[in-house]
């Protein structure tokens, strides 16, 4: 799961290059595990203030075995506008989303859990 955390940080760092006006994403706990809740907290940038008044949805998928392909998506991109994929408004102009645990969220088998190498949000 350390690889998951490092990849999430790498994606966050690269998001500033890809999207100059991106907000800030924090993952808690800082070292997430496959069996414990993971809270994602997003603080929109000044140019993304619309996210605080409109509904915003999340798309999440996993990378397995560092193969560079995102697999085990929670739902197809086109179906991510369902209520269970909606970010919650949080105090302090933030959005939050909680993943109960990666194993149950993605319906992973015990054999698949050790092969998770990244979380894409």
Q: Note if the bond before 29 is cis, omega within 30 degrees.
A: yes
2-21 pLDDT per residue, tens: 454 444 544 444 444 444 46
Tokens 């809270």 correspond to what residue? 39
| Residue 14: per-residue pLDDT | 46
Structure tokens at 92: 């302090």
Distance separating alpha carbons of residues 119 and 121, to the nearest angstrom: 7
Q: Which residues pair with 88 in a beta bridge?
A: 96
- Residue of 87 and 66 predicted with greater confidence: 87
16-42 pLDDT per residue, tens: 444 446 889 888 887 767 788 989 999
- Whole-model pTM: value is 0.71
| Residue 7: per-residue pLDDT | 47
């Amino acid at each position: 799961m350390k690889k998951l955390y490092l990849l999430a940080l790498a994606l966050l760092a690269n998001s500033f290059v890809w999207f100059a006006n991106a907000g800030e994403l924090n993952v808690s706990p800082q070292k997430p595990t496959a069996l414990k809740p993971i809270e994602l907290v997003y603080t929109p940038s000044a140019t993304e203030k619309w996210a605080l008044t409109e509904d915003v949805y999340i798309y999440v998928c996993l990378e397995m075995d560092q193969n560079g392909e995102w697999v085990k998506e929670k739902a197809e991109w086109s179906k991510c506008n369902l209520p269970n994929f909606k970010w919650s408004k949080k105090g302090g102009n933030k959005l939050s989303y909680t993943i109960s645990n990666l194993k149950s969220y993605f319906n992973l088998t015990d054999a698949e859990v050790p092969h998770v190498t990244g979380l894409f949000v």
